[in-house]
Structure 1
Amino acid sequence: MTTSTPSSTLSLLPTPTHLPVVHHMVTIKLTLDNYLLWKAQIVPYLRGQHLFGFLDDSRPAPPPTINITTDEISKIQPNPEFQSWIIQDQMILSALISSLSENVLAYVVQCTTSREVWLTLERMFTAHSRARVMNIHYQLSTLKKGDSSIADYFHKFTGLIATLAAINKPLTDEEQISFLLSGLGSEFESFVTMVQMRTDLLSIEALYGHLLSHELHMAQAQPKVDLTLAGAHVASRGVSSSRGNRGGRFSNTSHTGSTSFSSGQRTNRGRSRGRGSSTNGSRPTCQVCGKFGHTALTCYHRFDNSYSSDSNMQALLAMPQPPVVGRRLIR
């Protein structure tokens, strides 16, 4: 037998909250590697719609039926609040499922309520989240500014801090400042000392402003080089170097020339000595009789076969002989 709900009761049913299309609000779908980012989007989204109580069980499901007593007659009827709760919960369930990737969706296909989906995902990624928290702490302890700017360094730092806050593992202000200062380079030693000596605790935002000012001050304190003067200096050095090289070549050439000239003089002198033994300077020496003043062609002893002397033979043997082609002498 079907029992109908009175129209007066239907008018008192709470109106379910219609959720906007979730993919317009949650841009990152849940995968096996980005649970923290996905949760950081889903939680404020549902809290803004006053619906996170369906997930943390602060708004549990009402009983499905109620007893209605009229004229001392008790009747069991469906609970209209339960029906309204079911409608709202299924909307949340649909929003959650639409934000899951296909790989993760396979783990929650058997879930029938939004809380079941939430708890299943939380159990899946709890161990992963714990490892992720440890990894973030390690990244914070090893994060260094290096050659990057203060803005880039602070952006990386705040990204890690925000990730910890999104998984309900936020750092205190003292811990944040300690991690931030420990990653600065040696050029910020005076700044770190100044911050540590302060009696009041700076906020992260105020500390960031001071770091930017300190970085700007260091940049202005560095000596500037006039590129125009530097270019002129390099050009003048190049001209001087080229002149020096040319001077070196001239010196080498002169030196080489003098060396060649000296060598030529020595060679000529040697040749003069050689000719001197046969010609005595400008006076020729006879190859037959060995006397100065004439040559063998004009010597009257050249046809005298009986003429010979030991000194003449020694002079003849000491003289270099010209090459002979056929029977003709080459002079």
Structure 2
Amino acid sequence: MAASSFPETPDVLLSSICDFIPKRLESSNYFIWSRRMTTLFTAHGLLGYVDGSIKPPEKFALTERGEPTTELSQGYRLWRRYDAGVKAVINATLSSSALPHVIGSDTARDAWLALERRFTSMSNFNITKLRSDLESITKGSDSVNVYVGKVEEIRTKLALGFSVM
């Protein structure tokens, strides 16, 4: 893979990640976090590192006869740098309770899949709970504005959850 085919460096993202992703990933906000992260990576040409579409090039440099050497290829070194940058961006947006789920992930893709496996099942539980909350909500002594606000909040959370699934 030629250096010119690589997207903009993830260093820019690392320097200002908190501006883009103000809330760290926790058990209750996976779908919102995931949507923000995929939008951010898409905007910077880096989504392929988490969705698997940017594959690593040949790991080892080749001799003039096309035989592998023990030296890492320039393309692979550059790919690893970008992948590590994307993984660092992911790690920078995780809460202390989410971070252990990516320890041991070799690539950004591995980290992304580990988080997806962990939090998708929890989010499915949250969607079931939100449905139940929506069905059981009552106005009670709340004003109409407060009641409608509660219904809209649950509806928005449900819409976000279903749009990512």
The change in CA–CA distance for 1:35 and 1:56 in structure 2 (over 3 A counts) is same
Q: 2:134 — aligned with what? A: 140
Q: 1:163 — aligned with what? A: 157
Residues 264-294 of structure 1 show CA distances to partners (whole Å, capped at 9, x for unaligned) of: xxxxxxxxxxxxxxxxxxxxxxxxxxxxxxx
Map 1:77-96; keep pairs closer than 5 Å: 78-96=72-90
**Are 2:44 and 1:49 equivalent residues in the alignment?**
yes
8 Å CA contact 2:26, 2:94 repeated in 1: yes
The one of 101, 112, 126 aligned to 1:107: 101
What is the letter of the counterpart of residue 98 of structure 1?
A
2:80 and 2:3 map into 1 onto residues whose CA distance is 17
The one of 11, 17, 26 aligned to 2:9: 17
2:74 and 2:109 map into 1 onto residues whose CA distance is 21
The change in CA–CA distance for 1:43 and 1:161 in structure 2 (over 3 A counts) is farther
8 Å CA contact 2:2, 2:75 repeated in 1: no
2:128 and 2:25 map into 1 onto residues whose CA distance is 21
Gaps of 5+ in 1: 1-8, 171-331
Structure 1 SS opposite 2:25: coil
**Offset at residue 139 of structure 1 (A):** 2.0
2:117 and 2:3 map into 1 onto residues whose CA distance is 40
1:11 and 1:64 map into 2 onto residues whose CA distance is 15
The change in CA–CA distance for 1:62 and 1:11 in structure 2 (over 3 A counts) is closer
2:159 and 2:54 map into 1 onto residues whose CA distance is 25
1:155 and 1:15 map into 2 onto residues whose CA distance is 42
**Offset at residue 92 of structure 1 (A):** 0.9
Q: Give the TM-score normalised by structure 1.
A: 0.41
Map 1:273-284; keep pairs closer than 5 Å: none
The one of 17, 26, 32 aligned to 1:31: 26
1:60 and 1:74 map into 2 onto residues whose CA distance is 20
Gaps of 5+ in 2: none
**Are 2:124 and 1:124 equivalent residues in the alignment?**
no
Map 1:181-330; keep pairs closer than 5 Å: none
The change in CA–CA distance for 1:123 and 1:149 in structure 2 (over 3 A counts) is same
**Offset at residue 132 of structure 1 (A):** 0.8
1:115 and 1:58 map into 2 onto residues whose CA distance is 10
Residues 125-144 of structure 1 show CA distances to partners (whole Å, capped at 9, x for unaligned) of: 23211111111112222334
**Offset at residue 95 of structure 1 (A):** 0.9
The change in CA–CA distance for 1:11 and 1:44 in structure 2 (over 3 A counts) is closer
1:163 and 1:61 map into 2 onto residues whose CA distance is 36
Residues 44-87 of structure 1 show CA distances to partners (whole Å, capped at 9, x for unaligned) of: 22222232221121222233236565xxx435464433332211
Q: Give the TM-score normalised by structure 2.
A: 0.74
Query: Greater Rg, structure 1 or structure 2?
Result: 1
8 Å CA contact 1:65, 1:79 repeated in 2: yes
8 Å CA contact 2:57, 2:79 repeated in 1: yes
Taking only the aligned residue pairs, the percentage that are identical comes to 23
What is the letter of the counterpart of residue 27 of structure 1?
P
